[in-house]
């Protein structure tokens, strides 16, 4: 039986974390709410085989993201970069990846619901 590999994109959305990221010491001390999204593309047989071994288990991706989110950083750009590196290092078969980090209620001189950084 011929099994066809198919290009597949998997997305984890709106992962919510309380983390200590921010430019000011107070932000890092108190922490805040952050959202993380990741989308990654792989060539996989799982669409036909129905086997977890033929794909990348998104629970493992979540664990990598959680680990990086718990490390304090001044900039969410830095957090997003660390996440991307960790995922690419563990899963080099990923051909495309997008990481998005949002900081809810950022400290600005006005009202905004969130600030978001996206890296590809």
pLDDT < 50 regions, the chain: none
Q: What is the pLDDT of residue 48?
A: 87
- From residue 21, give the alpha-carbon distance in Å to each of 27, 42, 115: 7, 30, 13
- Catalytic residue of the set 66, 85, 88, 103: 103
Q: pTM for the full model?
A: 0.90
| CATH-assigned architecture of domain 6-119 | 2-Layer Sandwich (3.30)
113 with 103: CB under 8 angstroms? no
44 with 102: CB under 8 angstroms? no
85 flagged as catalytic: no
Which 3 state secondary structure label does DSSP give 2? Answer: coil
99 with 82: CB under 8 angstroms? no
Which 3 state secondary structure label does DSSP give 28? Answer: helix
Long-range contact pairs involving 78-85 (C-beta distance under 8 Å, separation at least 24): 79/19, 79/21, 79/34, 80/117, 80/118, 80/119, 81/119, 83/36, 83/38, 84/119
Q: What is the pLDDT of residue 2?
A: 62
State whether the Cα torsion 70-74-77-82 is positive or negative: negative
Q: What is the pLDDT of residue 3?
A: 66
């Amino acid at each position: 039986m011929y099994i066809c590999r198919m290009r597949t994109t998997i997305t984890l959305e709106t992962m919510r974390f309380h983390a200590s990221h921010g430019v000011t010491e107070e932000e890092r001390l108190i922490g805040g709410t952050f959202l993380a999204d990741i989308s990654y593309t792989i060539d996989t047989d799982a669409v036909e085989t129905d086997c977890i071994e033929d794909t990348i288990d998104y629970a493992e991706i979540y664990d990598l993201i959680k680990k990086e989110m718990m490390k304090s950083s001044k900039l969410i750009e830095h957090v997003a970069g660390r996440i991307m590196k960790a995922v690419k290092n563990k899963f080099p078969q990923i051909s495309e990846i997008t990481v998005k980090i949002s900081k809810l209620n950022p400290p600005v001189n006005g009202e905004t619901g969130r600030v978001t950084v996206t890296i590809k």
